[in-house]
Structure 1
Amino acid sequence: MADSFSLKFYLNKNKSRGKDEYKIYGRLIIDRRKSEFATNYYINENGWDVAKGRAKKNMAINDELTEAESEVNRIRRKLLDDGKPVSAKIIIQILKGDRKEKRFLLEYMAEHIEDMRKKGENAENTCDHYQSSYNIYEQFINNIYKNKDYPFNQINLEFIEQYDMYMLTMYRDPNGKKVKRNTINKHHSRLRTMLHKAVREEIISKNPYIHFPLKNTPTTRSFLTEEEINAIRKIDFSNNKTLDQVRDFFLFSCFTSLRYTDAYNLTTNNIIKTDKGKTALYVEESDKTKAPLHIPIISQTQEIIDKYNTHPDREVGGFILPRYSNQKVNDYLKNIAVLANIKKELTHHVARHTFATIALNKGIPLPVVQKILAHKSIRTTQIYAKMLVSTVEKEMEKFDL
């Protein structure tokens, strides 16, 4: 809470208009630090009451000055209630509508996320990821700094290092587990993006991340072999409709490479006939990359499509697959992995990794796989270029003299 607070209006003798007319200024002092602002009014010195800081007879001017005083008090009270820093400079900047110096991280990021959703240029998942990072930053600021928000101009290398330590030692994900370095770096990356944006908008002068390079830990992307896919296909789920449908949802993406959201939103309108009479899935804009998807339908894909011709989701909404939330799909996939005796951690995204890895090992050219996956860069597709032992053995036969 501020130790001292005062607001007085006075005539600025350096700002004159005509004979003996001076501009009315406000002087705000908090904790012996002052900041001043100009009003829109000039008044003759004889018409000004110095002691009261008001015009002697001009009620229109006095009403405006009283309204400005009320606004200053309102801004101060809101800052205090929100647990944000309070100073004469900050209050006057807010009063004048200068957004640069008054900005706070969470306030700024909330506006950024709202703009992302309104513009619709980013995938919904991307917006959700930013919201997830926002929630973590909020926890960090509340737990470490005991505030509801944090001013941009105080974010420095120490703040970033504190955040990194918090993520490594204190933070737990919604399942109560510690998070790994690469996950932490994703949240770092979004914070860095916010600071880059703030630099471009001249809210801050430099990004402290220039002194905090992010280094990822090498990871192995999990995928299934053909044998493991067949093990899942052979499970008898005749007495468990939910697991049967989740199994098909997962396998569908193993055969098409589709991300969860794209598979979830597929309708019969996305099934087209090509010029050569083939059947394919066509999506004008993929959810994440906004790039078009054109994926030929193979027999295993068609079998799943036909299976749900009379499913309520198809009959009512035209959706190709039964619809389950991503969380539910991943929860049920854990059960399916156990029943198929698969020791790997099974999530829906493993299906996309599986498609890419098997496709490359079957000799489908890298540019073709890149096209199906809708990767902008072939380097992204190369991540999946892992050689299965069976492929190495088969290719090695060519060397047999």
Structure 2
Amino acid sequence: MNNNKIHILFLIQRNKVNKRGGTPLRCRITYNKHRKDFSLGLFINPNYWDSKKQKLLDRAENSKIVNTQLSLISQKINEAFLLLQLQQGNFDVDDIYSQYKGENIRTEKTLLELYDLHNNATKALIGVDFNETSWGRYVENKRKIAEFIKYKYKRSDIKLNQLELKFIKDLEYYFKTQKKLSQATINRSLQRLKKIVQFGIAENYLDNNPFVLYKPTKHKLKLIYLTPEELKILEKHCFKQIKLQQVKDLFVFCCYTGLAYQEMSALSKKDIKLDFKGNKWIEMYRKKTSSKISVPILPVAERILKKYDENLPKISNQRFNSYLKEIADVLGLDKKLTHHVARKTFATTVLLYNGIPMEVVSELLGHSRLQVTQEHYAKVVKTKVGNEMNRLAKKLNEND
């Protein structure tokens, strides 16, 4: 049951006086810091009104009638409030007024209810138009939104008609200050909220889109990858601890294949194919985008596959990244190594630095759009072009 309190106040409207010298008597309901003000259709002599006692003084000729009516109105409003507490769970001051007037209350969806509708609908599409990882991110996104609503509004949910631009900005501020999330993570979380809102509009649960005037805060993509020299140091080093060596092998394998963690973990012998020339390829579907990826198995990657008889060791993503931190410390690499760094190293050091065109890189990474690849690696291409032009300029100067 909702334990928030309701406050009822009767007040006179002194700026309006009828021919008999009477002023209108109004009622104000306050609930959750929101007010509903309405006329009662009663006129009284303002000189006989006691605002503290909320009654008409006895010496007024119609005091008994008016005071009885005020008592009945107050009782009726409290009954409406109690009924909503028992039935609705989430309601606002307008709902209390509608219940008091005997009007039908329009059943409105709340934000978290909308999340449930979306998540239940997409869960049925897992393996068809949706993958389980993406679905899980919306479940997690709902949890974060629920935490924010409880933190900001001290309630368990919020009605869709209360969503506005301020809600989004407050949420972004909460993510920054309370959750200490990076701007990239914040933008992804807000993008998922935006899709939930769009889902609500499409299903006619929501009329206005609070994201219309919202502009996401831009963030600079920091590309972390191993240089050719760092990659060679990692390749040549042998760790005595078996787990460290296995993680190093897996990391290097991904530096030469570009496989994301999920694809690396799921890789099996059936995913390794031979082309008409006898060259080995990895052919599988990327779980994140459901797009097919075909990656040639380069010599370094093939040696690692042979070492493990084409059955790579299994390890959780969390433990994998934990061991990578230890590996970086041992080798003196001043970079935060994660599995994703291997994928970035494949795109940059192994492919782009060796002249592989951007569209081929996009294909090998399994990106759904070339634009995604360009956004991440355009700076690397510019750096390479700049270096090549410097070499050309130096060569031309030598020939003068």
TM-score by length of 1: 0.70
State the shift of 1:132 in Å: 2.4
Which of 376, 379, 391 is residue 397 of structure 1 equivalent to?
A: 391
Partners of 2:84 and 2:96 within 8 A in 1 = no
Taking structure 1 as reference, are residues 111 and 235 closer, same or farther at Cα in structure 2, changes over 3 Å only? farther
Instruction: Output aligned runs, 1:299-310, within 5 Å.
Output: 299-309=299-309
Question: Which residue identity is paired with 2:220?
Answer: P
Looking at structure 1, the residues matched to 249 and 362 of structure 2 have their Cα atoms a distance apart, in angstroms, of 24
Say whether 1:137 aligns with 2:145.
yes
- The whole-number CA distance in structure 1 between the counterparts of 2:382 and 2:244 is 29
Q: Secondary structure in 2 aligned to 1:122?
A: coil
What does 1:79-94 correspond to in 2, within 5 Å?
79-80=88-89, 84-85=90-91, 87=95
- Decide whether aligned partners of structure 1 residues 281 and 78 sit closer, same or farther in structure 2, where only a CA change above 3 A counts: farther
Write out the 4+ residue segments of structure 1 that deviate beyond 3 Å after TM superposition. 1-4, 73-80, 86-91, 387-396
Q: Percent of pairs identical after alignment? A: 29
Superposed counterparts of 1:106-125, under 5 Å = 106-120=112-126, 121-125=129-133
Which residue identity is paired with 1:77? L
The match for 1:191 is 193
Q: CA RMSD in A?
A: 2.9
1:127 pairs with 2:120? no
User: What is the rounded CA distance, in whole Å, between the counterparts of 2:84 and 2:263 in structure 1?
Assistant: 46
1:378 correspondence with 2:384: no
Which residue in the other structure is 1:47 paired with? Answer: none
Following TM superposition, by how much is the alpha carbon of 1:79 offset from its aligned partner in structure 2, in angstroms?
4.1
Q: Count matched residues.
A: 310
Displacement of 1:236 after TM fit?
2.3
Q: Distance in 2 between matches of 1:90 and 1:197?
A: 28
SS of 2:256's equivalent in the other structure is helix
Q: Which has the larger radius of gyration?
A: 2
Q: 2 CA distance for matches of 1:242 and 1:305?
A: 16
**Residue 77 of structure 1: aligned partner:** 86
In the aligned structure 1, how far is the partner of 2:192 from the partner of 2:258? 27
Which runs of no fewer than 5 residues in structure 1 stay unpaired? 5-30, 34-72, 172-177, 315-319
Which residue does 2:320 correspond to in 1? Answer: 329
How big is each residue's C-alpha offset from its partner over 1:223-261, in whole Å with a ceiling of 9 and x where there is no partner?
1111111222222212x1111111122111111111111
Contact kept, 8 Å, 2:119 with 2:138, in 1: the verdict is yes
**SS of match in other structure, 1:302:** helix
Quick check: 1:130–1:190 contact (8 Å CA) kept in 2?
Answer: yes
1:117-159: CA deviations, max 9, x gaps?
A: 3311223332232222222111111111111111111111222
Deviation string, structure 1 residues 10-40 (Cα, Å, up to 9, x no partner): xxxxxxxxxxxxxxxxxxxxx999xxxxxxx
Distance 1:140 1:229, change over 3 A: same
Which SS does the other structure have where 2:196 is aligned? helix
2-structure distance, mates of 1:388, 1:244: 35
Q: Would you say the 8 A contact 1:361–1:388 is kept in 2?
A: no
Other-structure match for 1:244: 245
Which residue number in structure 2 is paired with residue 278 of structure 1? Answer: 279
What secondary structure is seen at the aligned counterpart in 1 of 2:273? strand
Give the match's secondary structure for 1:150. Answer: coil
Match of 2:358 in 1: 366
2:60 — aligned with what?
A: none
1:105 aligns with 2:115: no
Q: Distance in 2 between matches of 1:106 and 1:89?
A: 25
Alpha-carbon shift at residue 271 of structure 1 (Å): 0.6
